[in-house]
Amino acid sequence: MSENLIIAVLAGTTREQRQSIKAARYVAEFGSHLDDVEVIFVDPKDFYFPGDGNDPEGKDARYTEITARADAFFIVTPEYNHSFPGTLKRMLDSELKNYIHKPVAIAGASNGNWGGVRAVEALVLTVREMGLAVTFTSPYFPRVQDTFSDDNRPVEDQKERIDKSIASAYDELIWMAQALKTAREG
């Protein structure tokens, strides 16, 4: 393949004390070391979406540009009340056609033992409606506050498991991204 695949890694929350941002940053850094991949990290804190919906006045032009360029998405969401944060929904809702027939991998994070599995499952319904094609390989980050250090690295005794799960998710995501990019451009 001549061009890099562009993967937008989306963090899921703007909460001041957020722990899942460490997992999201690590997923982005991990992807940036893969061959033929360019990662764009999207921290919702850096974007502004007035109101609701996807009308022109409800968009952030920088997010529009990123989603237009992206060949694939990798969302890292915390679990809030058995779902994903409203911030993430608001950001996703601001676009529509830029997602169609592109793949998305979803990772979950929580402070308990479940790793955000209910947030991931809830998000599957939403991204499907957006025309995204969901991978079935999902990394989970239970006890995320104990799993990553303040410099966004997995703690030593978790690193092998975490790296394996992120690598598997990227493998499937990249395979789908290449296939769907070829199909979209064909």
What is the contact surface with ligand FMN in residues (CB under 6 A)? Answer: 13, 15, 18-20, 78-82, 109-112, 114, 144-145
Residue 146 CB, shortest distance to ligand FMN, in Å, is 10
When the beta carbons of 32 and 45 are compared against ligand FMN, the nearer one is 45
Longest dimension (CA), the chain: 47
When the beta carbons of 47 and 99 are compared against ligand FMN, the nearer one is 47
Separation CA 116–CA 112 (nearest Å) = 8
Pair 6, 70: CB distance under 8 Å: yes
Task: Indicate the SS3 state at residue 110.
Answer: coil
Separation CA 65–CA 141 (nearest Å) = 29
Residue 5 CB, shortest distance to ligand FMN, in Å, is 27
When the beta carbons of 4 and 145 are compared against ligand FMN, the nearer one is 145
Residue 64 CB, shortest distance to ligand FMN, in Å, is 25
